[in-house]
Chain A
Amino acid sequence: QVQVVESGGGVVQPGGSLRLSCAASGFTLRNYNMHWVRQAPGKGLEWVAFVEQAGSEKYYADSVKGRFTISRDNSKNTVYLQMNSLRGEDTAVYYCARDYVYSFDYWGRGTLVTVSS
């Protein structure tokens, strides 16, 4: 069955870095575009980043542009989100989602990132 599983969350100090991973199974990752979406505690959903199938096209929300980098390794069935210069407002549950017709069809359960000193 199709699954995406996020990992790599944790507590990090402001200004620090963290790399999230999204492990895909049950489907051929190289055939799908992928996204990261986040949700701050008690807040709504926010789209974060997109990477197309081969990894050459990438797009970001303005709130993370220049600080976050999305990438993928199709040979390892994994999508990544490198987060640098982290701020308190980046504290959130980060979800990985598979793209389907400009939307998402499968979501992971999320991984919590807490930015705090």
Chain B
Amino acid sequence: QTVVTQEPSFSVSPGGTVTLTCGLSSGSVSSSYYPSWFQQTPGQAPRTLIYRTNSRSSGVPDRFSGSILGNKAALTITGAQADDESDYYCMMYMGSGIWVFGTGTKVTVL
């Protein structure tokens, strides 16, 4: 079964830029996987940031952007703020009615 991989952790300075990636254990990510990105702080429900590779969900600040970089999906946070400190998950639609989440990345802002 295909595993969706993410970096375990990232640190970014306030005002800095960080790019998280989301890859597949076999094969390349493309827009046909409809990659999504979610933000979750401890004890809270996830919040959808990005769907369909690069479409921002309603109310999401434009400092969050999605893209395909090489063979992976990517989430870039530009001008990181303290309240961006969260866990971030990607998700892929694998086809045939199956969705798979990534392993998650913990982002620290300091």
Q: Is the CB of B48 within 8 A of A107?
A: yes
Known: A44-B89, A110-B45. A104 touches B101 (CB 8 A): no
Of the residues A59, A62, A95, contact of B45 by C-beta under 8 Å? A95
Q: Is the CB of B91 within 8 A of A47?
A: yes
Of the residues B1, B34, B55, B89, contact of A45 by C-beta under 8 Å? B89
Q: Is the CB of B48 within 8 A of A47?
A: no
Interface flag for B97 (CB, 8 Å)? yes
Interface residues in A61-88 by Cβ distance below 8 A to B read: 61-62
Q: List 11 A-B contacts (CB under 8 A).
A: A45-B46, A45-B89, A45-B91, A47-B91, A50-B99, A59-B96, A102-B36, A103-B36, A103-B48, A107-B46, A108-B45
Q: Tell which of B1, B51, B58, B102 has the most Cβ of chain A within 10 Å.
A: B51
Distance (whole angstroms) from the CB of B100 to the closest CB of chain A = 7
Distance (whole angstroms) from the CB of B53 to the closest CB of chain A = 10
Chain B contacts to A: CB under 8 angstroms: 1, 34, 36, 38, 40, 45-48, 51-52, 55, 57-58, 87, 89, 91, 93, 96-104
Chain A contacts to B: CB under 8 angstroms: 35, 37, 44-47, 50, 57, 59, 61-62, 95, 100-105, 107-110
Distance (whole angstroms) from the CB of B98 to the closest CB of chain A = 6
Of the residues A47, A61, A105, A108, contact of B58 by C-beta under 8 Å? A105
Which residues of B sit under 8 angstroms from A103, Cβ to Cβ? 34, 36, 48, 51-52, 91, 93
Of the residues A61, A101, A110, contact of B55 by C-beta under 8 Å? A101
Distance (whole angstroms) from the CB of A46 to the closest CB of chain B = 6
Of the residues B40, B51, B89, B97, contact of A101 by C-beta under 8 Å? B51
Distance (whole angstroms) from the CB of A107 to the closest CB of chain B = 5
Of the residues A95, A102, A107, A108, contact of B93 by C-beta under 8 Å? A102
Q: Is the CB of B99 within 8 A of A44?
A: no
Q: Is the CB of B45 within 8 A of A102?
A: no
